[in-house]
Structure 1
Amino acid sequence: MKTVVIAGATGYLGSYLVAHYKQLGWAVRALVRNEASARTKGLDATEFFEGEATKPNSMIGLMEDADLVVSALGITRQKDGLTYRDVDYKANKNLLDLAVENSVPQFAYIHVLNATKLRNVQLVRAKQHFVETLQAAPIKSTVISPSGYFSDLEEFLDMAKSGRVYVFGSGEYRINPIHGADLAAACYEIIDAGQAFAEVGGPVKYTHNELAEIAFKSLNKKAKVTHLPNWISVAAQRAFETFTSVKTYGPIQFFLCVMRMDMIGKSYGKMRLEDHFAHVLEKETQNNA
């Protein structure tokens, strides 16, 4: 039985990766901070390894007899005093160094689509630095760049709940987001095929206008969409970068930048955003009952 080490196992994609690899008969060793907490969240790994990727000494033994490492490790919002460089670069570099030291055959990393166009975005810069380090390392590597997760686009649903959705420019920029389960399956296929790099998206391409319409339709509300000039987005980004700390502006900078470009990857999976929004609303109704 092959063994995969999954870092970032308790995150959105990580939990799907754990489930998918285990379903396919792999022994899944999940790197977690706290096993009890991970189990409470429903994570069903073969083995839990308590450690922190930011602390190399806490990971001694993690890579023993491993055939593959998959890292979905990263932060969107800086917390616990950790920076993007601390986690997205240094923590992943610690994992990579340990994998090389233990002669693990392959290392796969979950990146960001269009990263080379987003080098000045704080949230992406550290990730791209790690990718360059990984690709130069003496290990077989796979870099997978998703277009965006369904969960990211719940922001449109939240705006629709408030009565109005705001989009930049004409609203014709496109994205083909992907569900975590579909992305986990795509990752397995790409890694198993030994691809060095892949840009991944879901089965349907949506314009931002269509995202707004789907959100309102999910709520059975009339669509109310306001188009903001792109210069407002640029000005807002510069203001946040000037007057707030990177801890505050990091996620905002990333969001504003990706909303001003197409985010299209190769199509994988079957799940549609409409069904995800319906599931989210059904769950909210059950929780409020």
Structure 2
Amino acid sequence: MNKAKTVVVAGASGFIGTYLRARFEQAGWSVRTIGRRTAKGSAESARWDDDAAITRVLDGADLLVNLAGRSVNCRYNARNRAAILDSRVATTTALGRALEGCRVPPSTWLNASTGTIYRNADDRPQTESDGDLGSGFSVDVARAWEAALEAADTPRTRKVALRIAIVLGPGGGALRPFATLARLGLGGPMGRGGQKFSWIHLEDLYRTVRFLHARTDISGPVNVASPDVVDNRELMHFVRRAYGARLGLPTPAWLLRLGAVLIRTDTELVLKSRWVQPQKLIDAGFIFRQPELGRALLSIAKR
């Protein structure tokens, strides 16, 4: 009998991490975790404040998936900016340091990044080879995040930065505020409505992780997004249809900015035009299970 493969999921308690952990377990993998809430002394888990435990958990594993990072669904004040940056850079640096101490390190390290690293784009898709990096706080965070991964000295471990688009799936995540607006009758276009919306279904994100681990010829940053990019107007149409909302009043940018202050979030999450093209995945032959946004939202709403 073949020995079960082992994956280490860092940041396993979040929306994405919880799903990936469950799916790996369903597939027969042994799952170890690293996070803030992990109990000390566990042989299968480690906390971020225990370097020795992190090395122990990583040693002998086949795959490392790092998803750690504070949510960006908040106001970008000085305190939150510092926490968002540190939660990504410090954890990535800690993993690199721990891998150096492993006798048998994982062969693959997939480290989360973000599709927001690209500029505001509504003129052409942004691929890994010809995409233009943007500017501003979110882009600075993404650059620092990927720089921390690049700086890690891991000659025995292949590193891949996952430039993940907005993740949609059952149980909440980025879809929740859109669904809430639709139910309240405010599910119309946001701002000008023409800004692009790049997304990925949770299941396809999990399948991408499995695919990239198996494809040892792929390295460097990889765009993790569905090829079915829509604009905000189309997005809200599909959201209204999925949640049975007939009325969809538009929300002008000024009202979005006011509402963002009240609910303590930032309008960049809905007003920036994200057009992320998964060229490396397409060229490698990856098949998306949920390639169309309309059908994906219907399946999510049913669950």
**TM over 0.5: same fold?**
yes
Tell me, in whole angstroms, the C-alpha distance in 1 between the residues paired with 2:35 and 2:62.
Answer: 19
Q: 1:89 to 1:119 in 2, by over 3 A?
A: farther
Corresponding residue of 2:130: none
Corresponding residue of 2:276: 264
Corresponding residue of 1:11: 14
Tell me, in whole angstroms, the C-alpha distance in 2 between the residues paired with 1:133 and 1:33.
Answer: 20
Cα offsets for 1:198-218 (capped at 9, x unmatched): 102125322211121122223
Corresponding residue of 1:68: 63
* Matches for 1:80-91 after TM superposition, within 5 Å: 83-91=83-91
Q: 1:49 to 1:127 in 2, by over 3 A?
A: farther
Q: 1:170 to 1:133 in 2, by over 3 A?
A: same
Q: What is the aligned counterpart of 1:138 among 137, 146, 153?
A: 153
Corresponding residue of 1:224: 248
Shift of 1:273: 4.2
Structure 2 gaps of 5+ residues are 75-79, 120-133
Shift of 1:92: 2.2
Shift of 1:183: 0.6
Tell me, in whole angstroms, the C-alpha distance in 1 between the residues paired with 2:62 and 2:301.
Answer: 40
Higher alpha-carbon deviation: 164-173 or 146-155: 164-173
Contact 2:110 2:161 in 1 (8 A): yes
Shift of 1:156: 1.8
Contact 1:32 1:49 in 2 (8 A): no
Shift of 1:149: 1.0
Contact 2:195 2:274 in 1 (8 A): yes
Shift of 1:95: 1.5
Shift of 1:129: 1.0
Q: Which amino acid aligns with 2:150?
A: Q
Count of residues in correspondence between the two structures: 258
Shift of 1:279: 5.4
Corresponding residue of 2:269: 255
Q: Which amino acid aligns with 2:114?
A: V
Structure 1 gaps of 5+ residues are 37-46, 284-289
Contact 1:52 1:59 in 2 (8 A): yes
Alignment partner of 1:107: what SS?
strand
Contact 1:145 1:199 in 2 (8 A): yes
How well do the aligned residues superpose, as a CA RMSD in angstroms? 3.5
Tell me, in whole angstroms, the C-alpha distance in 1 between the residues paired with 2:199 and 2:67.
Answer: 17
Write 1 or 2 for the structure with the bigger share of helix: 1
Q: What is the aligned counterpart of 1:149 among 167, 173, 182?
A: 167
Shift of 1:73: 1.0
Q: 1:100 to 1:21 in 2, by over 3 A?
A: farther
Q: 1:90 to 1:164 in 2, by over 3 A?
A: same
Tell me, in whole angstroms, the C-alpha distance in 1 between the residues paired with 2:234 and 2:118.
Answer: 27
Tell me, in whole angstroms, the C-alpha distance in 1 between the residues paired with 2:243 and 2:7.
Answer: 41
Contact 2:115 2:274 in 1 (8 A): no
Alignment partner of 1:83: what SS?
helix
Tell me, in whole angstroms, the C-alpha distance in 2 between the residues paired with 1:281 and 1:169.
Answer: 25
Q: 1:168 to 1:161 in 2, by over 3 A?
A: closer
Identity over aligned pairs, percent: 18
Corresponding residue of 1:161: 183
Shift of 1:169: 4.3
Corresponding residue of 1:115: 117
Q: What is the aligned counterpart of 1:187 among 188, 209, 213?
A: 209
* Matches for 1:208-219 after TM superposition, within 5 Å: 208-219=232-243
* Matches for 1:192-211 after TM superposition, within 5 Å: 192-194=214-216, 195-196=218-219, 197-202=221-226, 204-211=228-235
